[in-house]
Amino acid sequence: MTATGVLQILGFFLVLLALTKPLGLFMARVYEGQRTFLHPVLRPLECLLYQLGGIKEEIEQRWTQYAASLLSFSLFSFLFVYVIQRLQAILPFNPQGFTTKKTTPDVSFNTAVSFMTNTNWQAYGGETTLSYFSQMAALTVQNFVSAAAGMAVAIALVRGFARRQGTTIGNFWVDLVRGTVYVLLPLSLIGALLLCSQGVIQNFQAYTTATTLEGGTQVIAQGPAASQIAIKQLGTNGGGFFNTNSSHPLENPTPFSNFFQTLYILLISAGLTYTFGVMVKDTRQGWALFATMSLLFFIGAFVCYPAEQAGNPILAKLGIQTGATIGQPGGNMEGKEVRHGIAPSALWAVATTDASNGSVNSMHDSYTPIGGLVLLFNIQSGEVIFGGVGAGLYGMLLFVVLAVFIAGLMVGRTPEYLGKKIESKEVKMAMVALMACAASILMFTAISANIDFPKDSYWNPPGAAIANTNNGGPHGLSEILYAYSSGTGNNGSAFAGINVNTPWYNLTIGLAMLIGRFLIILPMLAIAGSLVGKRYVPSTSGTFPTHGPLFVALLAGTVIIVGALTFFPALSLTPIVEHFLMEAGQLF
Amino acid sequence: MPTTPIAPPAPHQPQEDPTSLLPKKLARARPLFDPEIVQRAVRASFVKLNPMTLLKNPVMFVVEVGATLTTAFLIRDLVTGAGGIGFSLQISLWLWFTVLFANFAEAMAEARGKAQADALRKTRTDTIAKRLGPGGRIDHVPASVLRAPMMVLCEAGDLIPGDGEVIEGIATVDESVITGESAPVIRESGGDRSAVTGGTRVLSDQIRIRITSNPGETFLDRMIALVEGAERQKTPNEIALNILIAGLTLIFLLAVVTLQPFSQYSVNSTGSGVVPSVVVLVSLLVCLIPTTIGGLLSAIGIAGMDRVMQHNVLAMSGKAVEAAGDVNSLLLDKTGTITLGNRQAVEFLPIHGVNAEELADAAQLSSLADETPEGRSVVVLAKEKYGLRGRHIPEHDATFIPFSAYARMSGVDFAGRQLRKGATEAVCKFVAERGGEVPGYIQEVSDRISRNGGTPLAVADGKRLLGVIHLKDIVKGGMKERIAQLRRMGIRSVMITGDNPLTAAAIAGEAGVDDFLAQATPKDKLEYIKKEQLAGRLVAMTGDGTNDAPALAQADVGVAMNTGTMAAKEAGNMVDLDSNPTKLIEIVAIGKQLLITRGALTTFSIANDVAKYFAIIPAMFMATYPALGKLNIMGLHTTESAVLSAVIFNALIIIALVPLALRGVKYRPLDAAHLLRRNLLIYGIGGIVTPFPGIWIIDQIIHALGWA
């Protein structure tokens, strides 16, 4: 590690910490329907949307109605994105004249699911597949609303904890509109402008053809990038405008744009912990979640970054300078942009896998085994380390339910959290969510690691499903495991090194994304519905304290142990063994 | 004597930890591993192998399926003559042991209850009842034909044929069959001592009883069913915990089932080694699923009920015991629970011109014939403070004036003196009538005593007023500390008293309770409970009278005194056979202990898995990926010995923890934060660390014995 690298990570965290409270407070006011400084400007827009949608602002929903609204909205979003892709050839804003040759039914299905579930897994290459209209009307819109839907679910769950003996958990449509109008829209506007100032492009021009110094020609892709990038980071979507995502110089040109985008990845999720504290009327509870997430974030960052900075021992043995020197980053620079360097790349990678964001500024496939292990584990631990907007909070609350249930018994009371008893229904729902995710990741990977297809078959033209990987051995299995983890975790980042654009992978990863989204959301809403009706138990000195370092350690331990127990066998055959083999001199 | 006591009373054990809220081990405790019980349990362990029974316990069911699977492979290998039979045989045996050990734990807990039930059942002899017919005719009929509301007559020496209510007469009754207490109790018609229980024996006099329950529904029947566990239903928390461990089992099933294809991929890609056998995969699965808590969960619940029973408290359901752990407010009766029950003289306050000794002397003389505890305390105080020995007054010389509610004083007339003590107003009137002088400040002194929670008793010698005795409610020794402990545990204690608010406040302050309810009527109690519950608190209380029944029913934990009425016993969800209201505190501690034991063993069970991964995973892939040997931090000898050691450890830990499950983890009345830190350290960190040396030692032994 270098001092600069460590300072970059710490400095980043301090800025995030400083913004958590003001943003969290603002969001709490928004979701509780209080007036904010943006109301004079945005309230008319909010009201207009209610009028257009026939939404009655003051009518609240039970959890089943809330879930039904969310599901119908998601279904509509899916169909909308699917149809636009399939019809892009006859739709406007298509200067490159993209046809539907590449937006086949399976890709379109995968992409529609991907953006509707806030995953932004990209089986396609943006600049070679989609028209500006498809990018904007289909994808960017989903970047907003899928994020807002995730936040809505989190807020609904928080209401379950905060309200006493109620029946309703809010109105999905109102939460959706408020999140979009007051939180995502203004922040992405600011973001887009700042990114433009750094040189990120925003235009509707046809692609530019340039002549390089060597005299060759290069096609430089153009388009309305800045607006999509701001929201892709903010909404933990992660779907890049260009195929290479934020390592593309027109998507992420400068150190500041890089810092700013990393910050935007975690911003809302961090802020929501404070929102949670405000809404349950005990901000210490929110800070406890923030502290847990921060602890796990630092563990990841300070395992991944040193591993990357240490680089490959085999190269070092060959006498190659792998230490950092002036003007030389040292370490493992394979797959990393020189203009970013090791620490900002590792920081980004950790942040993007923590947050189910999925945008990348370096190639995760090229990380050292330990670096890659951190990224993989961040996703597999349930995307709760800040996590996706909303998804991180409700995911972490799932672990809170488990931690409080197991450890809470050890204080000699029926477990309770924030005055609400955790009983069979809550435990059942938490286990359903946990099992669904584990099943999706493990089963799909297990099948793909062994399933055979005839060569040039419809489902997988390269043949066996493992034929799509670029590498053999444990690394090849890592590539498959990462793909399904990313899909199930609604992360969307690619380890890459695997061709996933075949009907087999498009279908199975699409299913993984659906499982990872809805088999968590529905149980969590059911928990909200169960909790909201419960009586509040006042806390005493006999109550299990859920703030303070002990709880933070317990919660972080639960996240790690549950993740480790579920995935250790799989991980031991992927990055772990790869690491030992690398030490023994074997690479894949 | 008709009765076999439920168990012989054992001597009180010295209390190890003076701060412990858990009471000393009481009367009926049998030794944990009573040979008779162990025998019974071993037999039952095999009966419980029936898959239909095991289906109720998903974790152990999975182990049984695993054991069947490995046994099937063993048989296949025996038939085909394949190698590695020794390993499969040992694994199969240990997997069966794992199931048997878990069954044994449950059977142990049940057998203890069954043994008690058998003892009770022996007392249910076929009684011949004297049924009262119309016109006072007496029919001799078997007790089994009695139905409510028939009338029976019971005379000295008769067994009471069924549960009922005394409607006429008064008698002493031996209830030792129910309570284990040999001293007879009084049962009389009317009031709160009218309930009699079938199977108890009338020792003197005769009573007429109206039968209140039909055969099979009597208190004794219910008690037998309860201790036997026949009516045992899973408690809400137990159900939730079962869901958790069943869910974890499914997750581990996924992890292990998918490991096979992952290994297939690895073997294909490295071209070395073989895919782990089904026996090894099953072993890994059994080691990972929470067998420890899965095997002990029901034993913990049954043992919790049993512990309550050992305190001579009959819990009508496990749910009530669990609720006891959650209680936020304890309603404690002042008299008998917080205070000694009797007021005691603490001070003599003479009026001007009288010396204290003279007052003490007169007070003592006036109390010599007063056999009430208050009267005796006056004699004792005079002796202790002024060295006045109790004197004997010849009876023929003296006339004792007993206390009457009308005169509100008592005393003695002898040697021409008229000594009186009693309510200040009454004594002052007595003095004034005889032309004596009553100073005005006497009323102030009395009021001051009342305000401080005491009772003033004025003393007069004829027309001379001598002074005032200060009688005081004495808070039981150690009660203040207990209440402070309760507060640390997060439990509010509320004192219930019939005293006026002034007196109540003073005693409440002295005992340190959090709240009090003065001049409490049964209706007030009920209202108070409802108010507490509305604020989300769980309330526990004790009661004995019929008019306590609504409050007992409303309370989350209602402990009825056995001396109480049938109505009270029906309304509560526990009955204290010793009728000791202080026990409420202990019941709360048992409830907490039950929940802590569950949490501790669950944490321990899950934490154990870390070590098992380190034992089995490197062993499984020793041939495919020798590099993974670096994870073999315990340095286990071979693949077989590593897997076998983990399986053996997993089985033995269940047996090792049976005593803990049956006894419950040691409970300390600490606040939640300290308890959590302590238990997380012991069962969480301890759970991660313990298996490492454990598995290592087993591996050494196996290797030395050449088993694998």
DSSP A141-162: HHHHHHHHHHHHHHHHHHHHHH
Residues B199-236: pLDDT tens digits?
788 888 888 888 888 877 777 777 777 767 655 678 88
Position B591: which residue type? G
Mutation to test the A interface, candidates B20, B254, B608, most A Cβ within 10 Å: B254
Region A121-135: what's the mean pLDDT?
Answer: 84
Which two tokens mark B341?
Answer: 């029950």
Task: State what percent of residues in chain A have pLDDT above 90.
Answer: 74
Residue of B nearest to A554 (CA): B680
Which tokens is A539 given? 């806390």
Kindly report whether the peptide bond that precedes residue B149 is cis, defined as omega within 30 degrees of 0.
yes
Q: Is residue A233 part of a domain?
A: yes
Instruction: Confirm whether A98 is domain-assigned.
Output: yes
Angstrom distance (rounded) from CA B679 to CA B675: 6
Cβ contact, residue pair B244, A564, below 8 Å: no
pLDDT digits 0-9 by tens, B130-173: 888 887 788 888 877 888 788 898 888 888 888 888 888 888 88
Q: Which region, left, alpha or beta, applies to residue B5 given φ > 0 means left and ψ of -120 to 50 means alpha? A: beta
CB contact under 8 A, B606 and A411: no
Q: Chain A, 451-490: which have a CB under 8 Å from a chain B CB?
A: 466, 472-474, 476-477
On the question of pLDDT at B332 being above 80, the answer is yes
A554 touches B: beta carbon within 8 Å: yes
Does residue A64 lie within any of the structural domains?
Answer: yes
C-alpha pair distances (Å), B10 with each of A575, B6, B7: 62, 12, 8
Residue B9, pLDDT above cutoff 60? no
Sign of the dihedral defined by the CA atoms of residues A158, A349, A588, A580, in that order: negative
Most B-contacting residue of A440, A551, A573, A578 (CB-CB within 10 A), to test interface: A573
**pLDDT of B341:** 66
pLDDT at A15 over 90: yes
- At A515-546, the pLDDT tens digits run 999 999 999 999 999 999 998 888 888 888 89
Q: What is the pLDDT of residues A17-37, one digit of tens each?
A: 999 999 999 999 999 999 999
The C-alpha angle A16, A18, A22, rounded to 5 degrees, equals 105
Q: With an 8 Å Cβ cutoff, is A581 touching chain B?
A: yes
On whether residue A29 sits in a domain, the answer given is yes
The answer, for A568 touching chain B at a CB cutoff of 8 Å, is yes
Phi (first) and psi of residue B211, to 5 degrees: -70, 135
- Are residues B413 and B398 in contact, defined by beta-carbon separation less than 8 angstroms? yes
Higher pLDDT, A134 or A514: A514
Please provide the average confidence, as pLDDT, over all residues in chain B: 84
* B334 and chain A in contact, CB less than 8 A: no
**What integer is the mean pLDDT of B341-347?**
81
Inter-chain contact A565–B288, Cβ cutoff 8 Å?
A: yes
Q: B77 in contact with A at a CB cutoff of 8 Å?
A: no
Q: What is the pTM for the complete model shown?
A: 0.86
> What are the C-alpha distances in Å from B194 to residues B156, B167, B567?
17, 8, 10
Task: Please tell me the predicted confidence (pLDDT) of residue B393.
Answer: 67
Closest residue on chain A to B235 (Cα):
A424
Question: Could you tell me if residue A52 is inside a domain?
Answer: yes
A427 closest CB neighbour out of B240, B536, B621: B240
CA distances from B605 to B296, B582, B612 (A): 10, 36, 11
What pLDDT score was predicted for residue B14? 37
Query: Is there a contact between B677 and A542 if contact means CB atoms under 8 Å apart?
Result: no
Residue pair B404/B377 in contact (Cβ under 8 Å)? The answer is no
Among B243, B492, B592, whose Cβ lies nearest the Cβ of A424?
Answer: B243
Report, as residue numbers or ranges, the catalytic residues of B.
333
The answer to whether residue A535 is domain-embedded is: no
The CA distance from B603 to B614, in Å, is 18
Output the pLDDT for position A53.
Answer: 92
3-state SS, residue A501: coil
User: CB contact, 8 Å: A418 with chain B?
Assistant: no
Q: For strand B164-174 and strand B151-155, is the pairing parallel, antiparallel, or unpaired?
A: unpaired
Question: CB burial class (10 A; 0-12, 13-18, 19+) of residue A506?
Answer: buried
Whether A431 and B672 lie within 8 Å, measured CB to CB? no
User: From CA B600, how far away is CA B664, in angstroms rounded?
Assistant: 10
**Closest CA relative to residue B333, chosen from B530, B534, B528, B573:** B528
Whether residue B431 has pLDDT greater than 70? yes
Number of domains chain A is built from: 1
List chain A residues with CB under 8 Å of B539.
none
What distance in Å separates residue B296's CA from the closest CA in chain A? 15
Q: What angle do CA B594, B595, B598 make, to 5 degrees?
A: 90
Cβ separation A538–B536 shorter than 8 A: yes
Q: How far apart are CA A296 and CA A399, in angstroms?
A: 13
Closest-approach residue (CA) in chain B for A408:
B599
| C-alpha dihedral (B559, B562, B564, B567), degrees to nearest 10 | 70
How far apart, in whole angstroms, are the C-alpha atoms of residue A430 and residue A443?
A: 20
Instruction: Report, as an integer, the average pLDDT of B504-510.
Output: 87
Residue B182 pLDDT level (bands cut at 50, 70, 90): low
pLDDT digit string (tens) for B653-686? 999 999 999 889 988 888 888 899 999 999 999 9
CA distance A479 to chain B (A): 13
Taking contacts as CB-CB distances below 8 angstroms, the residues of chain B near A540 are 328, 490-492
How many alpha carbons lie under 13 Å from residue B277 in its C-beta half-sphere?
16
Query: Is A328 a member of any domain?
Result: no
Please give the average per-residue pLDDT across A222-241, as a whole number.
89
Range of the domain at A31: 22-281
B606 CA to chain A: closest CA distance, Å? Answer: 9
Give CA–CA dist A454/B329, Å, rounded.
Answer: 71
Q: Do B288 and A411 touch (CB under 8 A)?
A: no
Q: How far apart are the first and last CA of chain A?
A: 25
* Residue B17: per-residue pLDDT: 36
- Hey, what are B601's tokens? 């063993």
B528 lies within 8 A of chain A by CB: no
Written as six digits, the tokens of B421 are: 């003590």
Whether A317 is covered by a domain: the verdict is: no
pLDDT tier at B30, thresholds 50, 70, 90: low
Among the partner residues A410, A434, A565, nearest to B676 by beta-carbon distance: A410
Instruction: Report the range of poorest mean pLDDT among A37-46, A492-501, B436-445, B574-583.
Output: B574-583
- A475-484, B100-109, B388-397: the lowest-pLDDT one: B388-397
Phi, psi of A219 (to 5 degrees): -95, 120
pLDDT of residue B262 exceeding 90: yes
Mean of pLDDT values over B688-704: 95
Q: Is some CB atom of chain B closer than 8 A to the CB atom of A303?
A: no
Task: Quickly state the pLDDT bin for B93 (edges 50, 70, 90).
Answer: very high
Closest by Cβ to B603, choosing from A410, A544, A569:
A410
Give the CA dihedral B443, B449, B450, B454, nearest 10 degrees.
Answer: -140
**Cα Dmax for chain B:** 120
- State the count of interchain CB pairs (< 8 A) between A and B: 226
Q: What is the pLDDT of residues A461-520, one digit of tens each?
A: 999 999 999 888 899 999 999 999 999 999 988 887 899 999 999 999 999 999 999 999
State the amino acid at position B299 in one-letter form.
Answer: A
Q: What is the dihedral of CA A34, A35, A36, A37, to 10 degrees?
A: 180
B 618-637 near A (Cβ less than 8 A): 621, 625, 627-628, 630-631
Q: B24 near B13, Cβ under 8 Å?
A: yes
What per-residue confidence (pLDDT) applies to B322?
Answer: 87
pLDDT in tens, B36-54: 888 888 998 999 899 988 8
Q: What is the CA radius of gyration of chain B?
A: 34
- Contact status, residue B11 vs residue B86, Cβ threshold 8 Å: no
Q: Does the beta-carbon distance from A424 to B266 stay under 8 Å?
A: no
Instruction: Please give the Cα distance from A143 to A234 (Å, whole number).
Output: 9
